[in-house]
């Protein structure tokens, strides 16, 4: 069973990324998505190797954003793929059996595509505006999630779907009530001092 909370890493430099990841692990987070855009491969591989060792020490999972080959190289627990990234089928062939493959979605059609592709979980959003992501898709809001889940069959709902995008602590109960399995956040955990079990 996947954790209910995923931390999507933040930081303009590798040391900042590592500082934030170490902090949220100290707070009890058990699932890290390493997201470090527009970096040279050697920098990203080095950081990923360090974060993998750190996550192992905390008994936490690590997935890599976008880079299937780096996920394989550092023996990460899996990869998260955007709609325009490596196809899920190719990632399955590249990674060892049992690795986690997550996929981004914004619409009902996206969600159904991700389910057909065999994603292990789906990051659905954005919930509200966030400056963390460039080229932001249309904002869903709570009502958007409710409408989308009302259109999914019981079988389709068995795939864990995570809310993502500008989520605050006070948003979480309503999101879970709307049918979301969990949440994926950056700023909420980067800036909190609360233990994870006080957040979700």
Residues 6+ apart with CB under 8 A from 173: none
> How high is the pLDDT of residue 133?
60
> How high is the pLDDT of residue 54?
98
> How high is the pLDDT of residue 38?
87
> How high is the pLDDT of residue 169?
96
> How high is the pLDDT of residue 134?
62
> How high is the pLDDT of residue 188?
96
Bridge partners of 163, per DSSP, are 124, 183
Cα gap 132→33, rounded to integer Å: 14
> How high is the pLDDT of residue 130?
73
Q: Quick one: 5-192 is in which CATH superfamily?
A: Aldolase class I (3.20.20.70)
Cα gap 64→79, rounded to integer Å: 5
**Residue 23 CA, distance from chain mean position:** 17
**Residue 95 CA, distance from chain mean position:** 18
pLDDT in tens, 84-110: 999 999 999 999 999 999 999 999 999
Q: Which residues of the chain have pLDDT under 70?
A: 131-136
Got the DSSP string for the chain?
---SEEEEP--SSHHHHHHHHHHHHHTT--EEEE---S--HHHHHHHHHHHHHHHHHTT-EEEEES-HHHHHHTT-SEEEE-TTSS-HHHHHHHSPTT-EEEEEE-SHHHHHHHHHHT-SEEEE--SS--SSSSSPPPP-HHHHHHHHHHHS-TTGGGS-EEEESS--GGGHHHHHHTT--EEEESHHHHT--S-GGGT-
pLDDT in tens, 116-131: 999 999 999 999 987 6
> How high is the pLDDT of residue 136?
64
> How high is the pLDDT of residue 145?
96
> How high is the pLDDT of residue 132?
65
**Residue 108 CA, distance from chain mean position:** 18
């Amino acid at each position: 069973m996947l954790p209910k909370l995923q931390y999507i890493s933040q930081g303009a430099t590798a040391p900042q990324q590592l500082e934030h990841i170490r902090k949220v692990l100290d707070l009890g987070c058990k699932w890290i998505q390493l997201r470090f855009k527009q970096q040279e491969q050697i920098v990203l591989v080095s950081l990923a190797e360090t974060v993998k060792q750190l996550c192992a020490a905390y008994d936490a999972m690590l997935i890599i954003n976008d880079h299937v080959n780096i996920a394989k190289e550092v023996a990460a627990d899996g990869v998260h793929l955007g709609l325009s990234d490596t196809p899920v089928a190719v990632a399955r062939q590249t990674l060892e059996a049992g690795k986690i493959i997550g996929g981004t979605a914004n619409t009902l059609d996206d969600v159904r595509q991700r389910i057909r592709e065999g994603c292990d979980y789906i990051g659905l959003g954005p919930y509200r505006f966030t400056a963390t992501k460039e080229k932001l898709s249309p904002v869903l809001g709570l009502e958007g999630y409710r409408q989308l889940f009302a259109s999914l069959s019981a079988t389709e709902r068995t795939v864990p779907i995570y809310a993502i995008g500008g989520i605050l602590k006070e948003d979480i109960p309503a999101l879970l009530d709307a049918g979301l399995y969990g949440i994926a956040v950056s700023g909420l955990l980067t800036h909190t001092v609360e233990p994870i079990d006080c957040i979700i």
